[in-house]
Amino acid sequence: MELNKALEQWSGLLGTENVLDEPSAQALFGRCTSGARRRILGAVRARENAEIPAIVAVAARFRVPLYPISTGHNWGYGTALPAQDGCVILDLSALNRILDFDAESGVVTLEPGVTQGILADFLDRGGHPFLVPVTGAGPTCSIVGNALERGYGITPHADHFGAVTALEVVLADGRVYRPALSGLNGVALDQAFKWGIGPYVDGIFTQSGMGIVTKMSLALARRPECVRAFLFGLEARERIADIVPRVREVLARYPGVVGAVNLMNAHRVLAMSVDYPGDRLGADGLIPPAVISELGRGNQVMPWTGFGTIYGTKGVVKAVEREIRQILRPLARRLIFLSPELVGRLSRLAGWLPEFLRARVGKRLDMLRRSLELVAGRPNETAMPLCYWRGGKLPEPGGAMDPARDGCGLMWYAPLVLMKAEQVSEYVAMVEAIMYEYKIEPLITLTSISDRCFDSTVPLLFDVSSEASLRNAEDCFHALLKAGQEKGFLPYRVGIQAMDWITEDGGTYWQVVRQIKKALDPDGILAPGRYN
């Protein structure tokens, strides 16, 4: 590796202001909510798409590994850190143009620096009736980055890579990959038809380091005439198994009409709505069950909360609402249906309440209002206070939340769980037992990604400034991975601290992945160690 020569050539290509040495890069990109540490050798900032092949050519010439990031806001999975030590960050956040938009079909082509917030502003300015593929990670997170991690959301196109129709990718040798139809003068067809012709290759650029995605086309969900959320509670923790077949029935009956359904335990809901009760902990350092129950009663949070959304015409939504009531009512308590407009009106009316009521009711209504904005395709920070529950300094009012900058300790355990009652019950018991053993509160969400499977997201919250707290969280995370593997609960994605774990079995799948990587990137220049 000839790092200094590479940095010198990149400076000539991009300007010295867009090339950072090791200390500057470490200061800018070295903070991570997971507490992971990597040696970053430097960073280069691309200013436009056309520069990427030349940047890669310099890296290949001097054998300097590059680690591309979109915005670097991969909270809980590595933030902006490379999977391995000794990389130069390739920062693509300045590539934030929306390159093409078909206002009839809703297919948008964008660069990796386009965030949820940028796309929302673009659609609003043009009056385009389409939804942003939102996540709970906030408006500053990349659309491309989330889709390449095969992330998901809660709007009708819940599978974000499923909505991707075409990619443009710079390979390790500087060639630019485009799908087959684009090479036959069919760019518009590639943007409309995901599969193209011949072997489907686009998928190898997800959850991998096979190339640098510089453009992505994806189909946006059309904004429906009516959006209505439904909420319900379960009176006992053990009823989670009983509700699973009914959730499955709702999803199977109304695909494309009912979005993802979330099932959240009381810990998870309280972490987003009340301050951490640090002065009321038990001798074991955990929140006692009696305190959880008390906080739940005071904030109308039941042992489990369900949250889903219906999308469609007013007639369709009304009919589906009626049938959902019939399916869920035998078990669900406080089953209510709300529109964003209704909650907005209630939030405004709360301002007229006496002060002692306004603080309690107004806060709850505001959280509900922002949650409904999210399911209606408006990115916001509704879910992000979760990151700050156990630590971190909240920004000043009006400032964007940045959990890495603000000192939050967070890593995600995100396994797939079959949508079967016995599987869900066993999974919840496993997570609770292990997390209580490691003295970490079990915040559990189950999000449907089909009528067959949940993805569960479990945040491990800890004090990132304490080495002991960090080591305990890491041990808990690996205990969850190991126990989950034994019971058949396997992650749909992992952070940089688990890349070796996920690839170590050496089976045929990972042999083929390594062969493809070697063929495309024989010198391991691009994102070494990432899912490989």
Q: What would the mean pLDDT of 68-77 be, rounded to a whole number?
A: 95
Cα–Cα distance measured from residue 65 to residue 87, given in angstroms and rounded to the nearest whole number: 5
- What pairing do the DSSP bridges indicate for beta strands 304-312 and 262-265? antiparallel
Query: Residues 266, 270, 272, 276: is their CA dihedral positive or negative?
Result: negative
Q: Would you place residue 154 in the very low, low, confident or very high pLDDT band (cuts 50, 70, 90)?
A: confident
Checking if the pLDDT of 464 tops 90, the result is yes
Cβ contact 41:1 at 8 Å: no
Cα–Cα distance measured from residue 421 to residue 321, given in angstroms and rounded to the nearest whole number: 24
- What pairing do the DSSP bridges indicate for beta strands 87-91 and 107-110? unpaired
According to DSSP, residue 224 is labeled P
Among 150, 147, 149, which residue's Cα sits nearest to residue 108?
Answer: 147
Among 520, 522, 485, 503, which residue's Cα sits nearest to residue 170?
Answer: 520
Among 496, 502, 425, which residue's Cα sits nearest to residue 456?
Answer: 425
Checking if the pLDDT of 466 tops 60, the result is yes
Would you tell me the crossing angle of helices 340-350 and 355-375 to the nearest 10 degrees? 160
> What pLDDT shows up at residue 276?
93
Tokens 């507490």 sit on residue: 35
Q: Which domains does the chain have, with CATH numbers?
A: 1-95+494-532 (3.30.43.10), 98-219 (3.30.465.10), 230-258+266-386 (3.40.462.10)
Q: What would the mean pLDDT of 514-518 be, rounded to a whole number?
A: 95
Q: Which helix (H) or strand (E) holds 373?
A: helix 355-375
> What pLDDT shows up at residue 351?
62
> What pLDDT shows up at residue 355?
59
* Cα–Cα distances in angstroms (integers) from residue 509 to residues 493, 502, 514, 532, in the given order: 16, 11, 9, 11
Q: Would you place residue 339 in the very low, low, confident or very high pLDDT band (cuts 50, 70, 90)?
A: confident
Cβ contact 375:317 at 8 Å: no
Q: Would you place residue 201 in the very low, low, confident or very high pLDDT band (cuts 50, 70, 90)?
A: very high
Average pLDDT across the chain, whole number: 93
Cβ contact 250:310 at 8 Å: no
Cα–Cα distance measured from residue 40 to residue 21, given in angstroms and rounded to the nearest whole number: 9
Cα–Cα distance measured from residue 312 to residue 269, given in angstroms and rounded to the nearest whole number: 27
Q: What would the mean pLDDT of 223-243 be, rounded to a whole number?
A: 94
Q: What would the mean pLDDT of 434-450 be, rounded to a whole number?
A: 96
- Please list the residues that pair with 109 across neighbouring strands: 100, 217
Kindly report the number of other CB atoms within 10 A of residue 28's CB atom: 15
Q: Would you place residue 504 in the very low, low, confident or very high pLDDT band (cuts 50, 70, 90)?
A: confident
* Cα–Cα distances in angstroms (integers) from residue 347 to residues 206, 301, 363, in the given order: 41, 19, 9
H-state helical runs in 32-142: 52-61, 116-126
Q: What are phi and psi of 383, to 5 degrees?
A: -85, -10
- What pairing do the DSSP bridges indicate for beta strands 66-69 and 87-91? parallel
Checking if the pLDDT of 319 tops 90, the result is yes
H-state helical runs in 415-489: 421-437, 467-487
Q: Is 248 helix (H, G, I), strand (E, B) or coil?
A: helix
Q: What would the mean pLDDT of 453-464 be, rounded to a whole number?
A: 96
Q: What would the mean pLDDT of 381-404 be, rounded to a whole number?
A: 90
Cα–Cα distance measured from residue 169 to residue 185, given in angstroms and rounded to the nearest whole number: 17
Checking if the pLDDT of 130 tops 70, the result is yes
Cα–Cα distance measured from residue 247 to residue 306, given in angstroms and rounded to the nearest whole number: 9
Q: By percentage, how much of the chain surpasses pLDDT 70?
A: 96
> What pLDDT shows up at residue 377?
87
Q: How far is CA 268 from the centre of its chain?
A: 16
Q: Would you place residue 341 in the very low, low, confident or very high pLDDT band (cuts 50, 70, 90)?
A: confident
H-state helical runs in 100-236: 116-126, 143-148, 180-183, 187-192
According to DSSP, residue 80 is labeled T
> What pLDDT shows up at residue 373?
85
> What pLDDT shows up at residue 519?
96
Per-residue pLDDT reduced to its tens digit, 242-254: 999 999 999 999 9
Tokens 């030349």 sit on residue: 54
Q: Which helix (H) or strand (E) holds 213?
A: strand 212-219
Q: What is the largest CA-CA distance in the chain?
A: 70
According to DSSP, residue 237 is labeled G
> What pLDDT shows up at residue 112?
97
Q: Which residues fall within 8 angstroms of residue 503, CB to CB, at 6 or more apart?
A: 510, 513, 531, 532
